[in-house]
Structure 1
Amino acid sequence: MMNNIANNFTKKFVTLATLVFLCSLPTTTLAKSSVWKVSKNNDHVYIGGTIHVLPEEHPMPSEFINAFNNTDQLILEAQLPDPNDAAAQQAMIAKMSYTNGDNLQSKLTPETFKLLTNYFTTIGSNVNQFTSFKPGFVITIMALIELQKAQISGEGVDAFFEAQATIENKKIDYLETADMQFTMLSQLGEGYEDEFILANLELNSSFTEFFGLILDAWQVGDSARLESLINDAALDSDEKSYEALFSVRNKNWVPKIEAMFNNKHKELVLVGAGHLFGKDGLLALLKKQGYTIEQSSL
């Protein structure tokens, strides 16, 4: 079973931009999409905020396709290990696992561990299969379970365009390594495991509705709503995780994006939608550096 979990995790790695509290806001319809043109000195880079897992046969916004067709290089967050690479899978599992006799149960109160036990029991699993893993990996497994329950199992934006770039022989590059992502994930919730697990158990009770709101806002490029649903809610619920997931990584990525200017390539950068917004979002950070930011219209 653990090999299946590892394979599913690698195929549908969900950054915790999709694991924040539900903020219900009214639906609006905008003639825009979640793609931005970042310009400076007669050069530009397209940056798209993505959803890492989509419902089956969900239509891709045309602005993503247009940006892809008008660029010759695709930049993604990280290249994940091949699901068939057993050595890479085992290395990932080792990074996500406790050592020296520690386990997740010892980090939780009896009340929280009982709630976690009940969660896995309701889906026909035994919590003891997961107690050797750190909380960041456990809540990602829970996210995959909720996606399956909601029948959301389609290819994500990143995977769609990575496959298309491979077919068209476009160059693909990455902002960080898979090891960097897994290290970050393995450290989430460290030192406050009880609150971290409780928050994600609460999220699961409204996961389908929450994901629908995110998807709706993303589809029409409603940046204000996406910022409220993802960034504001994540910051309010878990400032430490927000810093690790968004702020630190965004600041590390800005110099890499700036290096894409004044070269022979036209780049499309695809990152999880939560990385774009807020005061530490890529759009705000690039604007501070003097870049012009324009949202693409349909």
Structure 2
Amino acid sequence: MKKLGALFLSLFLTLSVLGTANAADKPTRVWMDGTEVQLGASNPVTENGTTLVPMRPILEKLNVAVLWNPKTQTVTGTKNGLELSLQIGSTTATVNGEKKKLDAAPKTINNTTYVPIRFIGETIGYKVEWNAAQRTITLKTAAPQAAGSTGFLWKAENKGNTVYLLGSIHVANDKMYPLRPEIESAFAASDSLSVELDLTKVDQTAMQKFLTEKGIYTDGTKLKDHVSAETYNKVVAILKANGLPGDSFDNYKPWVVTQSISSLQVQSEGYKPDTGIDLYFTEKSHKMNKPVLELETAELQLNMFNDFSDGLQEKLLKDTLDSLAQADKETAETSIDLLSEMWIKGDEETLTALTKSSASEPEYYKALLGDRNIGMFNHVKEYLNSDTKSTYFVVVGALHMVGDDGIVTKLQKDGYTVVKQ
């Protein structure tokens, strides 16, 4: 478990808020099969809840042949026998001669033609997803695995109520999808979704305000006054290696630096919060108008970090720095990839070992798991004891499920029957 950087990796099994705090004020970005589409100086715009993007960059990336008729203000695209046509200012498009209704009409802004990206992508055959927390639009070609990811799923029943418990990883990549049918079926059968946080509704401005008020030193001291010279020098080295000034984090507390560097590592290895398991189901729920219930708040999670002792804050920072350095020296399989692999295989033995590793730091374990598990457990008990005879789908960080203080363990100790699915 030392190879995994247990404290570093446990953050991505327990905290939804990781990866969202730095997303405020980001322009909308478009990704296609893991590669960002370069839109030049023209940013996407939103009309009536529909995102429009510059026409030529997206169509060229999709390998669509484009014909522009300036007289009729019509763009025609062709690819593999498919022909689509859109007209500036019109909410009617045609696909192989058949009329289609658009949610927003194409338009011209500063001599650049903008088209609705969801219509374009889905017409060409891509799956189009929007992530509000990261302000990203993702186009994906279908590349299903022979068998879906196993994950960690349990089922509890009481008084006619059913609770499905899914242990999540909050950052993921496309390799984790599709999920096995049992997980998707449990979600489909549920009346509501419960998550730590609804990341699509996180107030990014409020989070930035929180970080400014609580994550910055106001007493005249700097980061180097609160951590060892060795740790500080490693922070400086990472900043410079990424083309940033070495003093960029000088005013920030170690927990803020840890979160920023953690996000840097997972993103550099191709993992993103917008593909995390909980966000995947949150977005599906919103599309289906399925209620989404929150078990915690972003402030609760961030306050937990801020309340860590100076010693623990430095230890977490050092663990993160060491994990990043190890990934540079060895293969990526020494860090976040192993976490993904664990989830895909449903490796409960490794998950339990991570829980035990976290328990080696009592302050960390109590705040991250012990105290928070109690609140989540109480919510689940309320669901099971409800008179509504409903089905609930609960998705929280996988580390909250197992171990002596895990939700599943607590339910079993209280006499509930919990079955691994």
Task: Please say whether Structure 1 and Structure 2 have the same fold, judged by a TM-score greater than 0.5.
Answer: yes
Q: CA deviation at 1:144?
A: 0.9
Q: Could you tell me the percent identity over the aligned residues?
A: 24
Distance 1:291 1:131 in 2: 50
Alignment match, 1:252: 375
The answer to whether residue 397 in structure 2 is matched with residue 272 in structure 1 is: yes
Say whether 1:68 aligns with 2:187: yes
Residues 33 and 295 in structure 1, CA contact (< 8 A), matched pair in contact too: no
- Corresponding residue for residue 324 of structure 2: 204
Give the distance between the partners of 1:5 and 1:124, measured in 2 at CA: 21
Q: Distance in 2 between matches of 1:159 and 1:30?
A: 18
**Deviation digits for residues 185-219 of structure 1, max 9, x if unmatched?**
22235344443322221122345322222111211
Cα deviation for residue 32 of structure 1 reads 4.9
5 Å matches for 1:177-196? Answer: 177-196=297-316
> C-alpha deviations, 1:34-71, integer Å up to 9, x for none?
11102234432001001111113641322321111010
* Off by >6 Å, runs of 4+ in structure 1: none
- Worse-superposed segment, 68-77 or 216-225: 216-225
SS at match of 1:35: strand
Q: Is the 8 A contact 2:155 2:163 kept in 1?
A: yes
Q: What letter matches 1:6 in structure 2?
A: N
Residue of structure 2 aligned with 1:6, choices 22, 42, 46: 22
User: Compared with structure 1, are the counterparts of its residues 168 and 290 closer, same or farther at alpha carbon in structure 2 (3 Å cutoff)?
Assistant: same
- Supply the distance in 2 between the matched residues of 1:31 and 1:116 (Cα, whole angstroms): 36
Counterpart contact for 1:49–1:274, Cα < 8 Å: yes
For structure 1, which segment, 92-101 or 41-50, has the greater mean C-alpha deviation from structure 2 after superposition? 92-101
Count of equivalent residues: 275
Cα distance in 1 between the residues matched to 2:148 and 2:198 = 32
- The Cα of 1:30 is off from its aligned counterpart by 12
The higher-RCO structure (CA 8 Å, 6+ apart) is 1
**Structure 2 stretches lacking a partner, 5+ long:** 1-19, 27-131, 135-146
Distance 1:200 1:87 in 2: 26
Write the letter of the residue equivalent to 2:357.
Answer: A
> Which residue of 2 is the match for residue 234 of structure 1?
358
Q: Distance in 1 between matches of 2:256 and 2:368?
A: 14
CA contact (8 A) 2:176 2:340 kept: no
Give yes or no for the alignment of 1:214 onto 2:339: yes
**1:67–1:268 Cα contact (<8 Å) kept:** yes
Indicate if the aligned counterparts of 2:151 and 2:167 stay in contact, CA closer than 8 A.
Answer: no
2:258 to 139, 160, 170: 139
* Partner deviation per Cα, 1:98-117 (whole Å, 9 max, x = no partner): 33323322101222211221
Question: Higher helix fraction: Structure 1 or Structure 2?
Answer: 1
The Cα of 1:81 is off from its aligned counterpart by 7.5
What is the distance in 2 between the residues matched to 1:193 and 1:64?
Answer: 36
Partner of 1:21: none
| 1:243 is the counterpart of 2:366 | yes
CA distance change for structure 1 residues 67 and 189 in 2, over 3 Å: closer, same or farther? farther
Q: Distance in 1 between matches of 2:228 and 2:172?
A: 35
Does the CA contact (< 8 Å) of 2:156 and 2:416 recur in 1? yes
The match for 2:248 among 123, 129, 143 is 129
- 1-side partners of 2:357 and 2:325: how far apart? 16
* Residues 1:46 and 2:164 are matched in the alignment: yes
The amino acid of 2:369's aligned partner reads: F
For 1:201 and 1:220, the matched residues in 2 are separated by 27
Pair 1:157 & 2:311 matched: no
Pick closer, same or farther for the CA change 1:205–1:88 going to 2, 3 Å: closer
Amino acid at match of 2:168: T
Cα offsets for 1:216-269 (capped at 9, x unmatched): 1211222112111x2122223x33212211111001221111011233231111
Aligned: 1:176 with 2:296: yes
